[in-house]
């Protein structure tokens, strides 16, 4: 949703024993210092890099004009035979802008959403007060933390009792988002999970799996030493062509992927594989275990431990930085948010432009 870097849930950082190598923090500080330190007498200072982000997309005018009393909104939606949808966004989020344009401002999804949902937009950094229920009254940004929103867009569906019935983390293309909407409106959540519903209701033949020299023909994941990228695809993978054409053709992505063992698994296949712990399973069962409802989904392991996941659309810059975070071992002593802030500042201070929309 490839959410957005969201897209994307970030695991907490781990502390590691100090060793003789320079720490990730030290390396970042060096990056910050070197550009100016390297200037000779009379040299011009480094011109600070710029950031290209998504448009600051405003909520469509038909979104609910809510007093942010969510429980009451959920009851009102239920009385109208609708569900309440909370759309968590962030200023200049490229994934949010794309999804709002494609699914909320364009038919056929626009009309379907208007008919079956009340939509409230919340800002994950916002300071408006939200009454979520009788026990929780907090600011938008605090509610985002409580609900563990780690990337944008994050979309939470609530029933008439204000209970979460489904959640999407990150961008979904219109056909795939339509399946999510239908899962909620049909109340299929009473019988099955979203992951299983999506697997059974997507159109096969949408995509023919592509070969790539990056992919290693390995079916025993426990035999792999070092960091590993596991990519889940199938014949219903609407977003796989963009993944191959945009990410797997990007020079910086390829540079970082060369440091990993990359395995592509077909979740339609009944072939037996071995997971990182040595247990026999299938690609589909492995994806279900990690609640991967998006294709292509990406899990990144190091030392057999899941370190990062991408269960939505992701652009090249965010994917590259996630790979770097793991390959250089920063995750062992730093959480991704802290690392990402310092890394971004180091790049900008060195005069490097950043494009979140690549």
> What's the confidence (pLDDT) of residue 45?
62
Reading the block at residue 86, the tokens are 């909370």
Give the residue range(s) of CATH 3.40.30.10 domains in the chain: 24-37+208-349, 70-194
> What's the confidence (pLDDT) of residue 42?
55
Quickly name the fold that domain 24-37+208-349 has.
Answer: Glutaredoxin (3.40.30)
User: What's the start-to-end Cα distance of the chain, in Å?
Assistant: 14
> What's the confidence (pLDDT) of residue 208?
95
Tens of each residue's pLDDT in the chain, 358 residues? 333 333 333 333 333 333 333 344 434 433 433 444 444 455 566 899 999 987 788 999 999 999 999 999 999 999 999 999 999 999 999 999 999 999 999 999 999 999 999 999 999 999 999 999 999 999 999 999 999 998 899 999 999 999 999 999 999 999 999 999 999 999 999 999 998 888 787 777 889 999 999 999 999 999 999 999 999 999 999 999 999 999 999 999 999 999 999 999 999 999 999 999 999 999 999 999 998 989 999 999 998 899 999 999 999 999 999 999 999 999 999 999 899 999 999 999 999 999 998 8
Q: How far is CA 291 from CA 71, 96, 167, 173, 286, in A?
A: 27, 22, 11, 18, 9
Domain 70-194, second-level architecture? 3-Layer(aba) Sandwich (3.40)
Strand (E) or helix (H) holding 144: helix 140-146
Strand residues in the chain grouped as ranges (E): 51-52, 83-89, 117-123, 129-133, 136-139, 154-158, 164-169, 228-233, 261-266, 273-274, 280-281, 297-302, 305-310, 354-355
Reading the block at residue 293, the tokens are 């409802």
């Amino acid at each position: 949703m490839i959410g957005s870097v969201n897209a994307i849930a970030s695991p907490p950082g781990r502390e590691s024993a100090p060793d003789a190598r320079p720490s990730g923090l030290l390396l970042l500080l060096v990056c910050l210092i070197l550009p100016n330190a390297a200037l000779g007498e009379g040299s011009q200072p480094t011109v600070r890099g710029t950031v290209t982000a998504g448009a600051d997309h405003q909520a469509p005018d038909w979104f609910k004009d809510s007093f942010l009393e969510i429980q009451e909104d959920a009851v009102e939606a239920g009385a109208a035979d609708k569900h309440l949808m909370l759309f968590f966004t962030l200023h200049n989020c490229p994934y949010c802008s794309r999804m709002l344009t494609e699914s909320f401002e364009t038919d056929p999804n626009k009309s379907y959403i208007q008919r079956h949902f009340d939509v409230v937009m919340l800002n994950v950094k916002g300071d408006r007060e939200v009454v979520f229920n009788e026990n929780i009254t907090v600011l938008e940004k605090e509610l985002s933390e409580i609900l563990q929103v780690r990337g944008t867009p994050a979309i939470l569906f609530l029933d008439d009792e204000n209970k979460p019935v489904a959640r999407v983390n990150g961008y979904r293309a219109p056909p795939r988002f339509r399946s999510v909407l239908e899962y909620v409106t049909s109340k299929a959540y009473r019988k099955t999970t979203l992951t299983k519903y999506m697997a059974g209701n997507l159109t096969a033949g949408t995509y023919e799996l592509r070969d790539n020299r990056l992919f290693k023909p390995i079916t025993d994941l426990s035999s792999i030493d070092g960091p590993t990228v596991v990519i889940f695809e199938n014949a219903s993978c609407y977003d796989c062509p963009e993944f191959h054409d945009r990410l797997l053709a990007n020079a910086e992505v390829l540079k970082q992927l060369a440091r990993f063992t990359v395995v592509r698994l077909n979740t339609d296949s009944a072939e037996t594989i071995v997971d990182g712990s040595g247990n026999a399973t299938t690609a589909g069962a492995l994806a279900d275990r990690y609640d991967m409802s998006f294709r292509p989904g990406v899990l990144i392991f190091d030392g057999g431990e899941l370190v990062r996941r991408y269960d939505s659309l992701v652009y090249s810059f965010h994917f590259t930085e996630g790979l770097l975070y793991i390959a250089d071992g920063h995750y062992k002593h730093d959480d991704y948010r802290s690392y990402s802030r310092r890394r971004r500042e180091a790049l900008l201070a060195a005069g490097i432009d950043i494009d979140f929309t690549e």
